[in-house]
Structure 1
């Protein structure tokens, strides 16, 4: 505390005690508000800080318009410093320089001549060497400023006035963005495409209730002056919705092969605000430190035509890996932290996309109203004078006589006002009138001008009384700006894995997925396979090596999950559309490149799952697994609902055994397991209790001999379905499901096909109906597609009929059912034509009452129920 030491004496001031905390608090608040309002934050209306506004206004006052000669930058800086901005000359010059750099502003406002720096961080030449003038688009920011459209305030010494805001025909805050650090807050606003912003603004004017997502159909994303890519859309959405977000920017890079045969990465566009020279220098340091490998040389080949950075790769380098490392460790990928803080009526606010457009439209509306009032006053003033002219012309001789007889102009003025009822302004105008205006032609011009001015007055009054008309004027002016200055986007938006759902972009079509014996996988459009008659030769389906053949064939829809089971009992997850696409004759891609399958393991079965997020679905469906040695296991689908990159164990496989098949069931299905020796066992799914993923399962069927194996498992889903069996030599048949009596699991089964040397061993068993079709592939890759309806129903112990003609050394490797394809009328609101889809039946209509424990009289051999063994879980 300061203390008063004495009374007042002449020439001395009193000392007032002040609490230092209060003084510092008040002073700091004053300082911070001065920085916020008068230095660091842009105004929401014109998107400019005071220094930018003063530079543009100073250049206008100096007369350096776009169509006038350039003036020295030092002259412009001196004009702005002396009249409006009493700070260091560097601040003014740096501001003007940045407004002239096409890599700093999306739409530059200053036309610079000379060295204005570079994207490598080179400083501009001194202001005495460079010249500048306004760009035409900058004059749109200043248009109508002399028509009382904005408020003017005194400059720093009250000798002049300066605008507090510019009329701003263009939405500059969105178009060019802004950045600044105030006290306790900061702003960082991204630039956008002028054409998109104006389209969005017009859409807002048409519908003030428009939502931000609807606005984003027009203003899609920031548009940076250096182009490049926006990687991921979630940050853009967040910024538009909240005013804050993180936009990831990536350089535009292309992988090419040089004339020497080596790969190169060519970068032609870099992220916004990245110093190119520093980026290359830091990248070279990372290469030398071995943090980025595979690069042999880096060259900057940029010129006046554009940017070009060349990364030469080593011979053994994988270009995509090197590029991803460059994105990860260098500024080829950087982020722009959007923080839309601007001054709204003198207060800092965080603004979303709609807010910025709304405040700009309000500003333009205010400008239109003030401009119209100004023009109306001018028009009325002119109409008043023209009315005086017309009165004088109507009494021309009297006016001339009065003026001639007056001793001085003042007497003449008073005489005109008294004699003809004119105002002082009219009287002065008549006295100032040139004699040539008295001719007949000039009289007609005055009358025509008066008519036009009256029409203008009526139109201006109409504008002032009609808000929709004012909004139409704003739209028309914006459309004119868009047509004259709008351009295409420079920055491309690409979606990252985190924020895009590929299903939205991929049609949910049916596809054929094939896997060869040696593990090559592909997907092919179902339409590539044409229907043939029974017994046909078939069409070429898969090109494989001599020792390879197609072993698995699966029909799925693009959006489905595929659960991929391997010989050793592991399960992996893949979306159907993630399988590489190929035509009928292509080889496919090694499955090891798609999933992390262990060495020595092989894909054995695939099941088609609708989704893994619907709790009711995954808790009420089960996966039934069957092994070659006859073990069966049932597990809830929920146990497989959490995909992992490396897969998980689905069943414990004993030595000498391997997984054969997997099926999805609803908990109430019947199961038929067939063996290569031609027998099958039929039991209800409830005979198999649900187990955990790591369990080994229980016995499903007893094998006849050491050479006997399980060749297939069918889960019955329809009461009207038949069982189709196919032998390796191309014979097959349909039999009634009722021919297979229901027993307990674990038995030896009954005969399903009369096995002979002619038929060969059993290779497949399927559930079919008349509307289904079959696709059969043999080891040489030949395919045939036939209709099930062409096969008549036979007894289960017969030999069957020939399905496909085989060469002597060929065998059938895979049989797959294609479900009925029907035309289904789309009843959606989009009015699409009819589309095709499969009819899928999942409910089993066989009940527990159908189970018959009586002996089967048709069997060639007695059935062994093996009741003593089948209930023991295989540990």
Structure 2
């Protein structure tokens, strides 16, 4: 009669989940430290061995193998078994494949294997070493899931498969990731451990310098020793790339890729970055791989620096990856993270046990045979008497008993005499039996010596490993080296001046300064950038290639990019949209740009907003600036950022307005505040007026302020004509405005030796010497600096220092 027991659901769920987790951990996802195999892998290999699918024999349909595994050993899905079988045959996944597959078993491009009804397989030669001596009671067997057959709990493992082929797997709450190694190096290290059981990790690494991946590549040794010491770590892998030249053009040729990287996905990844203009120096990409090996060709534009492009590829693509090490394996039925030495010792202990059990098996077999031969030889020594005794017996039982009593034989010996064929009674057969007996005595002595002498026992383990090394060892594929992950491409890039241009629609470019030719005052200018309707150039300045370019947005955030990382374009090109390389949110726009050598420099950022607010914040407050940006200033609703400048202690600030007013005051009147602050009033504005320029100059500076109007008029006025006032006033007149000259477009600080670069909203630019622009007093309009087409006006202006 059934009985219903009430239980707490929380306890039932907890216990059931623990049972499930342990089942997955021990019986499915993690390898055994001894043979390096997961249960499904072990069952596949054993089933193929039982079916006689040995090296040198004919391949057999994979469907048959899968069926045999499911039928006898692994009551799970057929596709799961086949997937595990396929991986054992893939030379780009296993350093030493355990299955010799025939047919389509997938590719490094990620192509799936053909269905199991099409492919065929057999054991590879090295897989046979995992199974060798399995019939000699070397490992324990258990009943299968339905009690109809037996399967091994572990394989004899003639070579260290776990470290040679590595393993990856995800269980419940834990995962394993063990890298593959070179078999020859690994066996050398194991031999050294046998010779010196107290060997250190440094001693082992003299023989085993590090992992050896099936796809080759380059491995950074940084962090490797620590990973071996603890069983956990992370390693950097890089593709192996060489530079070639064809037809005057350089190209990068990838011949080896990092382990577990999909070649087709890698090529697609590079192509996507090229289309997004994040890799601007690449002109072509193709896959020339064939049966001879891998060859991915990346063609470079003329003048491109291969080292810079390569390191951009390492940074942005899977040409450089990380391999996580977590050396988790099943030890005595429990999951454990093992350092390298412990994992090697566990394997050697397993091999010692296998050799002991095999030796005992062989010894018993030899002793049993010798025992039989002793009886046969006794019978031959008394042949006439034996024959007479047998002839006189009524039946076999009486004959056996008589032989045992007369010659003191065992039942086994007596039965062997009775079973002996008459031809064995010849003299020649007697000699063969005596020779066999002598050989058996030698074998027995040898086997007993192995079991009696620990040194000799370990010598057998070592000799067998060395024999496998001679048979299967190959050359190392992965180059272990040290490469600076913090490679600075600035070392390879000339620090030349560039003109940074951004349009109202957010298109950005950098153009060599030399592309802008100097002209006389009043010229029409050269075409500076292609614009479309309602897309006008709004930000232009000069920066060095090695500078950090800081992007300040309308939402008060700041982002950073290196100038050399920006897309380069010709003077007449539109450029690339800023959202393609900055993580701007919806509605976020760039309002100010600033170039800087280092965010650890002393000094301050000085901010000016359209509504007359000024703010001062230490540069070092922004040194944690990363790709996601930081808050730069807290703007009040309806206000916008006009400009940001760099200043030191004692500097003076000039703020100029669209209505032709300017105020000059000491920066010390502005208290330094944090990044997220709002700032204080810098200039009091009349209704409808707004700030257009921010100037920061050193104390006692004796230069001029150069004013440019929207209709192209300009002048220079000595700074001393602008009285030093208190912060927050209305300022003084700096430009006489009327319909002819327009409104004030920009106010700049100049020494007189610079060039002036003026850009119109229509995309025209002119570069002229500052000294050609005459000096005038504050309440004047100046002279024509740039002729504009009807409807066009000045967008911005900036000075180019003499060293530029």
Q: How does 1:192-203 map to 2 (within 5 A)?
A: 192-203=181-192
Q: How does 1:325-364 map to 2 (within 5 A)?
A: 325-364=312-351
CA–CA separation in structure 2 for the residues paired with 1:420 and 1:304: 72
CA–CA separation in structure 2 for the residues paired with 1:428 and 1:60: 35
CA–CA separation in structure 2 for the residues paired with 1:472 and 1:206: 9
CA positional deviation for 1:405: 2.9
CA–CA separation in structure 1 for the residues paired with 2:485 and 2:254: 24
Q: Which residue of 2 aligns with 1:136?
A: 125
Q: How does 1:230-249 map to 2 (within 5 A)?
A: 230=219, 232-249=220-237
Of the candidates 230, 239, 244, which is equivalent to residue 251 of structure 1?
A: 239
CA–CA separation in structure 2 for the residues paired with 1:453 and 1:42: 40
String of CA shifts for 1:402-457, please: whole Å, max 9, x gaps: 22233332332222222222111111111111111111111011111111111111
CA–CA separation in structure 1 for the residues paired with 2:139 and 2:3: 44
Aligned-partner SS, 1:112:
strand
Of the candidates 426, 437, 443, which is equivalent to residue 439 of structure 1?
A: 426
Q: Which residue of 2 aligns with 1:89?
A: 78
The structure-2 alpha-carbon separation of the partners of 1:499 and 1:487, relative to structure 1 and needing over 3 Å to count, comes to: farther
Aligned-partner SS, 2:397:
helix
TM-score (norm 1): 0.55
Whether the 8 Å contact between 1:110 and 1:138 is mirrored in structure 2 is yes
Of the candidates 365, 377, 385, which is equivalent to residue 364 of structure 2?
A: 377
String of CA shifts for 1:521-567, please: whole Å, max 9, x gaps: xxxxxxxxxxxxxxxxxxxxxxxxxxxxxxxxxxxxxxxxxxxxxxx
String of CA shifts for 1:390-412, please: whole Å, max 9, x gaps: 11101111111222233332332
CA positional deviation for 1:85: 0.7
CA–CA separation in structure 2 for the residues paired with 1:14 and 1:475: 60
CA–CA separation in structure 1 for the residues paired with 2:56 and 2:113: 24
Aligned pair 1:263/2:250, yes or no?
Answer: yes
Whether the 8 Å contact between 1:114 and 1:129 is mirrored in structure 2 is yes
Q: How does 1:269-418 map to 2 (within 5 A)?
A: 269-418=256-405
Whether the 8 Å contact between 1:179 and 1:188 is mirrored in structure 2 is yes
CA positional deviation for 1:486: 0.4
Q: Which residue of 2 aligns with 1:159?
A: 148
Of the candidates 426, 437, 441, which is equivalent to residue 450 of structure 1?
A: 437
Q: Which residue of 2 aligns with 1:170?
A: 159
Aligned-partner SS, 1:216:
helix
Whether the 8 Å contact between 1:51 and 1:95 is mirrored in structure 2 is yes
CA–CA separation in structure 1 for the residues paired with 2:377 and 2:431: 10
CA positional deviation for 1:647: 12
Aligned-partner SS, 1:209:
coil
String of CA shifts for 1:797-848, please: whole Å, max 9, x gaps: xxxxxxxxxxxxxxxxxxxxxxxxxxxxxxxxxxxxxxxxxxxxxxxxxxxx
Q: Which residue of 1 aligns with 2:494?
A: none
Of the candidates 14, 17, 23, which is equivalent to residue 12 of structure 2?
A: 23
TM-score (norm 2): 0.60
The structure-2 alpha-carbon separation of the partners of 1:647 and 1:182, relative to structure 1 and needing over 3 Å to count, comes to: closer
CA–CA separation in structure 2 for the residues paired with 1:370 and 1:82: 30
Q: Which residue of 1 aligns with 2:45?
A: 56
Whether the 8 Å contact between 1:233 and 1:499 is mirrored in structure 2 is no
Figure out how many residues of one structure are paired with residues of the other and give that number: 494
Q: How does 1:809-824 map to 2 (within 5 A)?
A: none
CA–CA separation in structure 1 for the residues paired with 2:287 and 2:260: 18
Aligned-partner SS, 1:426:
helix
Aligned-partner SS, 2:79:
helix
CA–CA separation in structure 1 for the residues paired with 2:70 and 2:4: 37
Of the candidates 410, 429, 436, which is equivalent to residue 423 of structure 1?
A: 410
Aligned-partner SS, 2:206:
coil
CA positional deviation for 1:62: 0.3
Whether the 8 Å contact between 1:192 and 1:223 is mirrored in structure 2 is yes
Aligned-partner SS, 2:5:
coil
String of CA shifts for 1:187-212, please: whole Å, max 9, x gaps: 01000000111111111111111111
Q: How does 1:845-856 map to 2 (within 5 A)?
A: none
Q: Which residue of 1 aligns with 2:552?
A: none
CA–CA separation in structure 1 for the residues paired with 2:313 and 2:449: 62
Aligned-partner SS, 1:234:
coil
Q: How does 1:37-52 map to 2 (within 5 A)?
A: 37-52=26-41
Q: Which residue of 1 aligns with 2:112?
A: 123
CA–CA separation in structure 1 for the residues paired with 2:601 and 2:262: 47
CA positional deviation for 1:184: 0.8
CA–CA separation in structure 1 for the residues paired with 2:485 and 2:91: 32
The structure-2 alpha-carbon separation of the partners of 1:498 and 1:162, relative to structure 1 and needing over 3 Å to count, comes to: same
CA–CA separation in structure 1 for the residues paired with 2:82 and 2:475: 30
Aligned-partner SS, 2:460:
helix
CA positional deviation for 1:469: 0.4
CA–CA separation in structure 2 for the residues paired with 1:194 and 1:15: 58
Aligned-partner SS, 1:149:
coil
CA–CA separation in structure 1 for the residues paired with 2:277 and 2:394: 101
Q: Which residue of 2 aligns with 1:68?
A: 57
The structure-2 alpha-carbon separation of the partners of 1:249 and 1:450, relative to structure 1 and needing over 3 Å to count, comes to: same
Q: Which runs of 5+ in 2 are unaligned?
A: 488-596, 603-648, 650-804
CA positional deviation for 1:645: 9.0
Aligned pair 1:110/2:102, yes or no?
Answer: no
CA positional deviation for 1:646: 11
Whether the 8 Å contact between 1:234 and 1:499 is mirrored in structure 2 is no
CA–CA separation in structure 1 for the residues paired with 2:122 and 2:398: 51
CA–CA separation in structure 2 for the residues paired with 1:254 and 1:135: 34
CA–CA separation in structure 2 for the residues paired with 1:389 and 1:363: 39
The structure-2 alpha-carbon separation of the partners of 1:305 and 1:381, relative to structure 1 and needing over 3 Å to count, comes to: same
CA positional deviation for 1:499: 11
CA positional deviation for 1:497: 3.1
CA positional deviation for 1:279: 0.9
Of the candidates 186, 189, 206, which is equivalent to residue 178 of structure 2?
A: 189
Q: Which residue of 1 aligns with 2:793?
A: none
CA positional deviation for 1:182: 0.6
String of CA shifts for 1:36-71, please: whole Å, max 9, x gaps: 100011010011110111011111000011021111
CA positional deviation for 1:498: 6.7
Aligned-partner SS, 2:105:
coil
CA–CA separation in structure 1 for the residues paired with 2:454 and 2:147: 37
Q: Say what the alpha-carbon RMSD is for the aligned residues.
A: 1.8
Aligned pair 1:146/2:146, yes or no?
Answer: no
CA–CA separation in structure 2 for the residues paired with 1:241 and 1:110: 32
CA positional deviation for 1:648: 9.7
CA positional deviation for 1:316: 3.1
String of CA shifts for 1:161-187, please: whole Å, max 9, x gaps: 110000101011110000100111100
Aligned-partner SS, 2:424:
helix
Q: Which runs of 5+ in 1 are unaligned?
A: 1-11, 501-643, 650-693, 695-875
Aligned-partner SS, 2:251:
strand
CA positional deviation for 1:101: 0.7
Q: How does 1:693-708 map to 2 (within 5 A)?
A: none
CA–CA separation in structure 2 for the residues paired with 1:244 and 1:405: 78
Q: Which residue of 2 aligns with 1:484?
A: 471
String of CA shifts for 1:764-819, please: whole Å, max 9, x gaps: xxxxxxxxxxxxxxxxxxxxxxxxxxxxxxxxxxxxxxxxxxxxxxxxxxxxxxxx
CA–CA separation in structure 2 for the residues paired with 1:171 and 1:219: 13
